[in-house]
A and B are shown apart, each in its own frame.
Chain A
Amino acid sequence: MKRFFANSRLLSGADSLSIDGDTIVADVQDDAEVIDCAKLARNGGILAPGIIDLGVFAVDRKACRAGGITRVGLMPDQSPVLDDPGIVRRAALMGKPDLWVHPLAAATQGLAGADLAEMAINAAAGARAVATGRRWISDSGVMRKVLAYARDCGLTVIAHAEDSGLTANAVATEGETAMRLGLAAAPSIAEALAIARDVALAEETGARLHFRQVTTAAGFDLIRRAKARGLPVTCGITPAHLLLSDIDILDFRTFAHLSPPLRAESDRQAALAALADGTIDVLASGHDPRGPEEKRLPFADSEPGMSGTETLFALGMTLVHNGTIDLPRLFELLARNPARILGVDAGALEPGLAADIVLIDPDAPWQISGAEMHARAGNTPFDGMPVQGKVIKLWKGGREIA
């Protein structure tokens, strides 16, 4: 099916877009069906690439559809763990056709951090990268082997950056808030220590390394320096660490119990600066829906994580509206860069790439409500927050899905 999207605006400045089947094409084709965006969105809205959410913990199709997400990178922390080709293949097919799931295979067997998992076989089964999961690999020897082996397989290693010796049972970042609440806390340098080691190992092995979340000033400094030296190191963040700080856990709000934990305000400011100066490559939701049985507990007994897919775009727009970044940069963070890390032909509205398209109204106001979410659970620390930016329509591979 040939389609022609008219009367809208693209991030490139163009005002129309052509697709043929599931691919974007350069030329307008005479027999194309015309989609008049002016009839769909106020002022025709903006056409942007479908969002690629790198590093979700659950395949939540409805929530992704509501959030303008056409592809997700699925974390290996599933039950069973994504460390076997059968499991990886099944995960890759889970969301089709509306949502393409790109499994991130376990870097070590059972994510135990000890023995190498079958990376090449899992890649052949559909895995697009390997990941250490929710945890850091504490054994430096194992991590070195993971990086060296992944390099040979041409796979990026996606790492969690918290030194587990320092974090142990911690549920918060050391500081006044954790001290007042009497919560077990870890110093924020736990992140920089982990990054420093992993970057050194990546440099030595020549592997591509992506930190799923970097959240501290010292962490960003290390990433900045690694990039300046030309190392293939990238990093991501979620809206929570850009818009919230550790005071948001006051009153023992378990919806703000995250991993890594919320940081000091000075770290949040450093995150905003790192987003603006290009140190951060990816903005992801970290989608991890948790029901009341895991969240309506004393803070330390609750599970970390937030439900995030359907608020990812709007919270990203908050950063555009407040002048931290511009709209093209937002979609580099949400689509182009994650596509590069995963090695998929998507993430931008350019000829030859997948026709994953989202039509957005960047200014439409709404209020986040955990109770009204489409996700499996509404555990959002942003409940009640007013935002601007709505997903109007969504096409996956040229097919309208929302």
Chain B
Amino acid sequence: MPASDHRPAAQIPGGAVFPHRHLTGIAGLKPHQILFLLDEAEQWVDANRAHAKPDKRLAGLTQINAFFENSTRTLLSFEIAGKRLGADVVNMHAAQSSVKKGETLIDTAVTLNAMRADVIVIRHGSSGAVQLIATKVDCPVLNAGDGWHEHPTQALLDALTIRRRRGSIAGQRVVICGDILHSRVARSNMLALTALAAEVRVCGPATLMPAAIERMGVTPFADFDTALDGADVVMMLRLQNERMSGAFIPSTREYHLRYGLTDERLARAKPDALVMHPGPMNRGVEITSSVADHPERSAITEQVEMGVAVRMACLDVLTRRARGVEGWA
């Protein structure tokens, strides 16, 4: 992406900076739009830390968190974000099984719409499901993860964490390691970080590496030690339980041998390299406890903190048109 695409958000008037109705993925966003969301999130980091007087700018708005796939931390993060901004937050846990067949997903979308939700946050197990729902509702839709496709707020919170800890994103050597094939976190991060001019390396066993990955503008590695050379950021992915024993890798101990982030491995990265993980972690599999809990290097709890701020920013920005914020109407 040419550097000229990076324009400070302040130079662009009102809603023109972020003309999107929904946030279904990073794929549709321009670099300056990603930066705009990061800039917006900064104020909420400060406010949350200061336990500031609540800003109830979403008061009177209904936020529905429709989670068709199990989640604890992302759901909690979106709920806290909405409540901090004064929204009425309703959580809908739809069992995946009851929504899988027939028209039900569309029917669910139409039902939520009829209840006059002002913003809907959706997680679904099928790639593209959030986009499908977005076409059927009148309010903004926020993707909280769809299949293997995208998880845009995770990429935004990761980018914000990197920017705050490393000073910038451009030029940073970021290694994403683990199950790239099945990871929406990896896809959204590859899009966001390459758009913001980071050097992205992806690493994992061939069985968990999608074909044509280099078309994302990233460099694939099979050997973790080589990939770690000179890294500024090491982002570990969670290995799902069902993929641990035989289907994609022989065993967790073999995986740990080749791709576990240990202190010795981390020494190959830059001395001040940052360690990240979207959680929840499999301690002793993809990451050892001493690395995960490293007081200076690990940014894992900070990622969780940034998550709330980024989601507050997204909820705020996406509802500005409906709230008639000046310059956005």
CB within 8 Å of B: which residues of A?
A: 174-176, 178-185, 187, 251-252, 292-293, 296-301
Contact = CB atoms under 8 A, between A and B. Distances in A.
B155 interface: no
B20 to A, nearest CB: 15
Interface of B: 27, 100, 102-103, 105-106, 124, 126-129, 131-132, 146-150, 184, 187, 210-213, 215-216
Contact of B213 (A179, A297, A298, A299): A179
Contact of B132 (A174, A175, A298): A298
Contact of A180 (B105, B126, B146, B187): B187
A175 B213 CA distance: 8
A41 B105 CA distance: 48
Nearest to A292: B103
A382 B216 CA distance: 29
Contacts of B213: 179
A264 to B, nearest CB: 9
A179 B127 contact: no
Contacts of B131: 251-252
B149 A181 contact: yes
A298 B126 contact: yes
Contacts, number: 70
Contact of A181 (B124, B128, B132, B215): B128
A104 B210 CA distance: 38
Contacts of A185: 210-211
Given A176-B215, A182-B146, A252-B128, 20 more contacts: A174-B210, A178-B210, A178-B211, A179-B212, A179-B215, A179-B216, A181-B149, A182-B149, A185-B211, A293-B102, A296-B106, A297-B105, A297-B132, A298-B105, A298-B124, A298-B127, A298-B132, A299-B127, A300-B126, A300-B127
A146 to B, nearest CB: 31
A182 B150 contact: yes
Contacts of A293: 102-103
A298 B215 contact: no
A297 B99 CA distance: 10
Contact of B128 (A174, A179, A292, A298): A298
Nearest to A185: B211
Contacts of B210: 174, 178-179, 185
Contacts of A296: 103, 106, 132
Contacts of B106: 296
**Quick one: which of A178, A179, A298 has the most chain B CB within 10 A?**
A298
A293 B100 CA distance: 11
A178 B124 CA distance: 18
Contacts of B216: 179-180
A140 B215 CA distance: 37
A175 B216 CA distance: 11
Contacts of B103: 292-293, 296
A293 B101 CA distance: 8
A236 B187 CA distance: 37
B22 to A, nearest CB: 13
5 contacts: A180-B216, A182-B146, A185-B210, A298-B105, A301-B100
Nearest to B130: A298
A118 B150 CA distance: 49
Contacts of B147: 182-183, 298, 300
